Amino acid sequence: MELLKKRILKDGIVINNSILKVDNFLNHQIDTKLFNEIGKEFKRLFEGQTIDKILTIESSGIAVASFASIHFNYVPVVFAKKTNSSIIDENVYTSKVHSFTKNTDYIIRVSKKYIKDGENVLIIDDFLANGCAALGLIEIIEQSGANVAGIGVVIEKIFQGGREKIEKRGYKVNALASIENFDDNKIIFK
């Protein structure tokens, strides 16, 4: 998505050849006009697929998923909650996610009320890095008996291997901007 790549080059800041800070339009301040275009692009990429629901994870995924929903005929957006507690609640699906950036595990949960057997669920998130969050969401959808319609991310960092892991599970990944690598803190798009 050219508009997005231009914006990343204009406002993105690379830290230590590993983290892309995009607080200016995605992770702190939100450019709603750009988000609307992002939603439109997800619709184009998943055209022809039946999508009953969008699943994301708090917090940065929520705004992206919500704008996408508008372009998928206002399907409901469900977000997985992160919690430190591992208390078993019979009414929720849970999955353990490893965070590389924080070097800890955390539990994500979604109420069984909001994902049902047979539904077609599209996963949307802001970043795809190691793919742990996305795999956690996939596990929750699989537990529910719903179908993973695909995974759409705004920015992927290919060198962290998230896409590979998801494709190995048999699911389709669409990224709006794919970063091959950082070189001297310069962004190298695929």
Residue ranges of the binding site for 5-phospho-alpha-D-ribose 1-diphosphate: 129-133
DSSP state string for the chain:
-HHHHHHHHHH-EEETTTEEE-IIIIISS--HHHHHHHHHHHHHHTTTS---EEEEETTHHHHHHHHHHHHTTT--EEEEEEES-----TTEEEEEEEETTTTEEEEEEEETTSS-TT-EEEEEEEEESS-HHHHHHHHHHHHHT-EEEEEEEEEEEGGG-HHHHHHHTT--EEEEEEEEEEETTEEEE-
Q: Of ligand G4P, Na ion, none, which one does residue 162 interact with (CB within 5 to 8 Å by kind)?
A: ligand G4P
Interface with ligand G4P in residues 53-92 (CB under 6 A) = 57-61
Output the known binding site: 20, 27, 129-133, 157
Q: How far is the CB of 170 from ligand G4P (least distance, A)?
A: 19
Which of 11, 24, 27, 147 binds ligand G4P (CB under 6 A)? It is 27
Q: Is 163 left (phi over 0), alpha (psi -120 to 50) or beta?
A: alpha
Interface with Na ion in residues 55-84 (CB under 5 A) = 60-61
Residue whose CB is less far from Na ion, 89 or 152: 152
Taking CB under 5 A as the binding criterion, the range among 18-26, 117-125, 143-151, 172-180 that sits at the site for Na ion is 117-125
Q: Is 168 left (phi over 0), alpha (psi -120 to 50) or beta?
A: alpha
Query: Does 30 participate in binding ligand G4P (rule CB under 6 A)?
Result: no
Output the known binding site for xanthine: 20, 27, 157
Q: How far is the CB of 50 from ligand G4P (least distance, A)?
A: 26
Site string for ligand G4P, 32-51 (x = CB under 6 A): --------------------
What residues contact 62, with CB distance under 8 A and at least 6 apart? 56, 77, 79
Query: Does 12 participate in binding Na ion (rule CB under 5 A)?
Result: no
Interface with ligand G4P in residues 95-124 (CB under 6 A) = 99-101
Residues that bind Na ion (CB under 5 A): 60-61, 125-126
Which residue ranges make up the site for ligand G4P (CB under 6 A)? 19-22, 27, 57-61, 99-101, 126-133, 157, 162
